[in-house]
Amino acid sequence: MCASTSSACRLVVLISGRGSNMQAIVNMVRGQALPVEICAVVANKVDAAGLEWAQSQGIETKSVAHRDFSSREAFDEALAAAIDAYQPDYVLLAGFMRVLTPGFVEHFNGKLINIHPSLLPAFPGLHTHQQALAMGVQWHGCTVHFVTPVLDHGPIIAQGVVPVLFGDTPSTLAERVLQVEHRLYADVVRWLAEGRVSLDTMQRVQVHGIASRSFVLTSTGVEPSQR
């Protein structure tokens, strides 16, 4: 847990592409002057577009190319060593397109957080928007959760929802979900920095002082849902 009253919450962000969620987090942290230090942005691709953006913001970057390693275990070991050098309080997966080994997940137990483009436990894995349309669901969304060794599984911190509209395609649905992702992940980072997030004895997330951990896309933007 980040002790925001005494020191900055140290974060390392992992990306594979342009890192739009990473950018939303950086902008929120700086816009709200939160006690957060984004120590580094790390990518598994040397040409990940998000690295250039992070560098332009004065954030340290590093690439650990998965293609340079003969096994997932070897890559994850090198990735963990790169992250450990920054001694982060939390490691944020923000469009990091790698299945992590159990050893890596256990190494960062309680510190590893992911955003997934579906309302987990529905539609784990890839092609979530296609899955949602194929199943005919009327609500879709995204989930921020603690990572466990089970793929796209773990204690849920917050979720955001969007309606599925007539004529939606995977791309139009993805665009609306991404709007919610940016607000959702940024708010979760703020809760982490404020030391609000904890796990109870049943491994359920508690966010102290927050009435609603669900967000909805409306005609005026993304807002916490009313209860």
Active site residues: 116
The alpha-carbon radius of gyration of the chain (Å, integer) is 17
Contact 124, 155 (CB under 8 A): no
- Do residues 64 and 75 lie in contact, with contact meaning Cβ atoms separated by under 8 Å? yes
- How many CA atoms does the CB half-sphere of 190 hold within 13 Å? 19
DSSP string, 46-111: TT-HHHHHHHHTT--EEE--GGGSSSHHHHHHHHHHHHHTT--SEEEESS---PPPHHHHHHTTTT
CB atoms within 10 A of CB 16: 18
Residue from 127, 115, 95 nearest 157 by CA: 115
